[in-house]
Structure 1
Amino acid sequence: MLQPINIDAQIEALLAIVIQQFELVDELIMNGFQESVYQQLQANEGHINRLDTATTKTVSMVMILQMPKASMFRKTLASYEVILFLEQTGNALMNITDHIQEADLNSSDYVYFKTVLRNMLISIKLFCNTVLIAFLKNDKEQVHQLLDKEVFIEKMLKEVSGNIVDAFQEIPLTKQELTNIVAISFIARLIKKIEDNVIDILKLAIFAFEGIDVRHK
């Protein structure tokens, strides 16, 4: 009979690859698009998709074969949502990579924006990792603490949006410069979307641990 820990081990494997994806995307933001890094991102995305399929199958088998009691049923359902979240995060990071590929942010005009985007990416990587480790360890106290913690992604998003307008509103822009501005804006919003999903996972963890639904509060 399958044991629930198998699901946790597969989630840990997925998380490790997603964290590596964060680091590779950060490298692209810092140094510009590199084909070798992009190929590694694509290879990792393939691993994520395969693990996603295998882990989803494991969840289904646990639900069918073990017929878990209420608390384990909630945790197993939450594990399925975590798997979807990790797959969606992988997709978001690949979308960010596509915008980096289209942009040219090597000019000194973009140093500030690259710095803010990297800070956003690093912050959400750490937040994501901490949240999922707390989920896997059934750490109720840390989950509650993390839900009350402000990650400042929203503040940084507003900072990026406002400063783009201030920096470029009175300057004639080339097609490439317009592409760069759009890319910066989309990357910031994709990172914010990842944060929103992490917060949903926190709320789901509370439901899994305590049976209390705080997802709409």
Structure 2
Amino acid sequence: MRRIFLPVLMTLFSILLLPYDFEFKDLGVAHKVSTIEKKMVVINFSSPSCYYCKLFDKEVITNKDVQDFLRGNYIYVKIEPGSYKTTFLGKSYTNDQLFGAFGVRGTPTFVFLKDKSQVTQVPGYMPASDFLKALKFLVKVVEENYKGSFEEYSKKTDDYKGKPTIVEVKKEDAEYVLKNDKNAKQIDAIPAKLDINTLYITTNTDIAKKLIESGVIRVLLVK
């Protein structure tokens, strides 16, 4: 009986601690996707030898509420030291050089970008509840012009999901997103089961509007 019970427990534990399947490793690709989708990028500068990075991977990025909000509102990139090369804003960088380019001195450090500008940089570990609050706060500030302080906002109970937005894109940009963003799904009808944090891509204006009315956070309308 014990031999049967232990594998069942391990399976249940693995289900509860789901990895984030929508993580990018290449900052250049992630940034281009974010520009098309009109989302912020959050870069997690991490290290395999860092205790708090491991704790973040174990306790924060596995949190379903964090994952859902990230999918709907951000492009998430994890950068670890190494010689992997990317092209970001027209320049070539290794991962090691990206640490220097962003002035990262310790891990984990979270850098938030919108378009070509850095919104903020947050060093250090945060538990899931605090990290989720920070994610929501920055979207409200950047996309909805929220004027309050984070200290003020963090004390509120907030079920904020994001700002539903239709983004008009070219066909080639939609194809790039479909190729590189695992969260993207092309549709020609309203899905029977809607997920507001999935990035839906459509050529139909009426479908796009109905998705937004249903609370979907981001819709790409191909023109």
TM-score by length of 1: 0.22
Q: Which has the higher contact order (CA 8 A, sep 6+)?
A: 1
Bigger fraction of residues in strand: 2
TM-score by length of 2: 0.22
Bigger fraction of residues in helix: 1
